[in-house]
Amino acid sequence: MSEATRWLDGREQDVWRTYITMSSALTDALDRQLQGDSKMPYTYYEILVVLSEAPERSLRMSELAGLRGSSRSRLSHAVSRLEEAGWVVRRECPTDKRGQVAVLTDTGFDALRAAAPGHVTAVRETLFDQLTAEQVDALGQISAAVLRKLDPEGTLPGNREPAPGAGACGQPPDV
């Protein structure tokens, strides 16, 4: 606090402004695409993806929250909403009576399978099709470096080594 602020120089300001504008425009575009085509916000899509890859297509609430870097409260609200849609159900946890387990239903899996192609196509067209192979590599390294700072423990997906079953997001949902 006693240190003088290290302001950004001209180049850094340019990069920052361009990055933050691109970043919000990109998530906006993906959100709109999913909401329009599949009636689900992007954050809910991510929940379905994570569940679809989990064993038994089910996860404890707090594991799900941790994997998604979202608060317990947010997840609780979200799962309530997904339950209304019939895409997820809550079950009691057999080993811990405080716990709840979220399970992806068949309907939810179908909804995910229907939503995936449009989403992946949007990601490919807006992001990967605009970049060279070297830029894709660079983006991966840059993201990993920043993420290490934001999440030193490496609990978020995409941080540290690729997770064991890490497919997802861009893959066709497994049969």
Partner DNA sequence: CGGTTTCGATTGAGAGTTCAACTAGGGGGT
Partner DNA sequence: ACCCCCTAGTTGAACTCTCAATCGAAACCG
**Alpha carbon 77 to its chain's center:** 17
What's the sign of the alpha-carbon dihedral 170, 173, 74, 37?
Answer: positive
In whole angstroms, how close is the CB of 17 to DNA at the nearest point?
17
Q: Which is nearer to DNA, 43 or 126 (CB)?
A: 43
Query: Which region holds residue 157: left if phi is over 0, alpha if psi is between -120 and 50, else beta?
Result: beta
In whole angstroms, how close is the CB of 73 to DNA at the nearest point?
3
Interface region with DNA, contact rule CB under 7 A, candidates 3-11, 90-98, 125-133, 143-151: 90-98
Calculate Rg over the CA atoms of the chain.
18
Q: Which of 81, 126, 156, 167 binds DNA (CB under 7 A)?
A: 81
In whole angstroms, how close is the CB of 42 to DNA at the nearest point?
8
Exposure string for 114-142, b = 16+ CB within 10 A, e = fewer: ebbeebeebbeeeeeeeeeeeeeeeeeee
| Positions 103 through 162 that interact with its own copies (CB under 8 A) | 116-117, 120-121, 123-131, 135-151, 156-159, 162
Q: Does 171 interact with its own copies (rule: CB under 8 A)?
A: yes
Would you tell me which residues interact with DNA (CB under 7 A)?
28, 32, 35-36, 41, 43-44, 60-63, 65, 70-81, 90, 93, 96-101
